[in-house]
Amino acid sequence: MIKSLRLINWKSFADATLYIDPLTVVIGMNASGKSNILDALCFLQRIASGVPIATALAGDNMLAGLRGGLDLSPRHPHHHFTLTTVISDRNNKEFTHTITVTTDKSTASITSEEITSNSDNKKLIHFETLHETLALVANLENRETFSKPHQLFTTSAHSLLIKTDSLPISEEIKDASRSIKDYLQSIFILDPIPSHMRGYVPLSDTLKPDAANIAGVLASLSDAERSHIESTLTAYLQQLPERDIERVWTERVGRLASDAMLYCEENWGGKTPQIVDARGMSDGTLRFLAVVAALLTCKRGSLLVIEEVDNGLHPSRADTLVDMLRTLGARRNIDVIVTTHNPALLNALGPEMVPFISVTHRDASGASAITLLEDIEQLPKLMAGGPLGRIVSEGRLESALQHDGE
């Protein structure tokens, strides 16, 4: 699992670290850096999946660019950034992956990239560009060095993670690289767009980031899997206040049964049940269904990232949302990062979640910073004055952070 992410000169961050737990909550004012964290995770997922460095930032005809593209990825006035992730594999071995990227207005390339074994503090492999020459050093104990024009490693346009299987290096290094690559590839950033979820969609294997194909993903599952997931969706949706939901399900439609639609059945006070398809469901219902479906269908061991997780949800159901994130995440071994501004959700987290809440804010220099909520000096006094949601709503958290920085 991914344990932490360090951002150096990335967008608005000078040097900050996000610690990642089974459920991590990121809060902060607008423009404090929350979305920039998500962009960093998206970038890492892309390069671990084989997307070229420049394309991962700027996009192309098939892939949307990150906000700011190449120009605004490094923090001004720098032209390079560094992202460091700490990852623990299934055997509890811990590795650190660090990549530094240099950009200009038209392209981006890797300046250096390395993998370190944290258990014995050994650098396993290191790549860097020196004076337009590519150099790769692996297995430092044996000083195996490959440099241009080595046929297996002649470009800095792609991450080292997707090349190690082809290099004449030890299995230890290859295994470490595969673990890091697998976990970074498994980052899934969910941004449900209800207007995209209302139509008929083809059968699909993987949920899209906007959840547009939720019906196609569920309908393509085996009968047993689909029945289990639809029962869970129904159980959670029944806790929402807006409708008396009896059942949620998907059906294959069309002459070839190659498309699907999402349906629910309402039953108000014993009257004749009414069937409503996705076109008649509210935005809040569809967003909530997308979050539950992602937790139920993402690969085990994934990192699910959801911006403004409570968008469209009635405040009275914040407890339901928090319980669902905790329960389903733990059940399927999926770590979850969410951002929120909602006071009701912050109140629902309770005191036991304080160690897992990070606050993004601007320091005295204007750079974004990340502070663990429990590390704020005045927190005990703040918490004595009311629940977290009220503290945030009244701006007292930001005042305390400013005081700590003085």
My answer on whether 181 and 32 are in the same domain is: yes
Question: Which amino acid type is present at position 117?
Answer: S
Question: Does an H or E element contain 229, and which?
Answer: helix 223-237
My answer on whether 102 and 54 are in the same domain is: yes
Assigned domain for 135 exists: yes
**Global pTM?**
0.90
Residue (of 18, 22, 74) closest to 41 by Cα position: 18
Assigned domain for 214 exists: yes
Assigned domain for 403 exists: no
Q: Is 40:337 a contact under the CB 8 Å cutoff?
A: no
Assigned domain for 279 exists: yes
Q: What is the CA radius of gyration of the chain?
A: 23
My answer on whether 100 and 130 are in the same domain is: yes
Assigned domain for 345 exists: no
My answer on whether 151 and 213 are in the same domain is: no
Assigned domain for 242 exists: yes
CA–CA dist 383, 347 (Å, integer): 11
Strands 144-147 and 2-8: unpaired
My answer on whether 162 and 255 are in the same domain is: no
What are the tokens at 47? 């390069």
Domain boundary among the residues 186, 205, 236 is at 186
My answer on whether 100 and 229 are in the same domain is: no
**Structure confidence at residue 405 (pLDDT):** 59
Residue (of 262, 211, 259, 206) closest to 234 by Cα position: 262
CA–CA dist 406, 402 (Å, integer): 6
**Structure confidence at residue 284 (pLDDT):** 87
Assigned domain for 382 exists: no
Question: Does an H or E element contain 31, and which?
Answer: none
Domain boundary among the residues 154, 186, 218 is at 186
Beta bridge partners of 275: 265
CA–CA dist 376, 92 (Å, integer): 31
The CATH number of the domain holding residue 73 is 3.40.50
My answer on whether 142 and 231 are in the same domain is: no
My answer on whether 128 and 256 are in the same domain is: no
Assigned domain for 89 exists: yes
pLDDT in tens, the chain (406 residues): 999 999 999 999 999 999 999 999 999 988 889 999 999 999 999 999 999 999 999 999 889 999 988 889 999 899 999 999 999 988 889 999 999 999 987 889 898 899 999 988 888 888 887 655 555 665 444 445 444 444 444 457 889 899 888 877 788 889 999 999 999 999 999 999 999 999 999 999 999 999 999 999 999 999 999 999 999 998 888 887 655 778 889 999 988 889 999 998 887 666 677 888 899 888 988 999 999 999 999 999 999 999 999 888 888 888 889 999 999 999 999 999 999 988 888 888 888 898 999 999 999 899 999 999 999 888 888 888 888 888 888 888 888 887 665 5
Q: Is 104:78 a contact under the CB 8 Å cutoff?
A: no
Q: Is 324:339 a contact under the CB 8 Å cutoff?
A: no
Beta strand spans in 139-273 (E):
144-147, 187-190, 201-202, 245-253, 259-266
CA 176, distance to chain mean position in Å, is: 21
Q: Provide the domain limits for residue 205.
A: 195-297
Helices (H), 266-378: 283-297, 318-331, 343-349
Q: Is 290:214 a contact under the CB 8 Å cutoff?
A: yes
**Structure confidence at residue 134 (pLDDT):** 56
Domain boundary among the residues 297, 322, 339 is at 297
Please count the structural domains in the chain. Answer: 2
Show the CA angle centred on residue 139, arms to residues 149 and 131, nearest 5°.
35
My answer on whether 174 and 276 are in the same domain is: no
My answer on whether 86 and 30 are in the same domain is: yes
My answer on whether 6 and 124 are in the same domain is: yes
My answer on whether 208 and 157 are in the same domain is: no
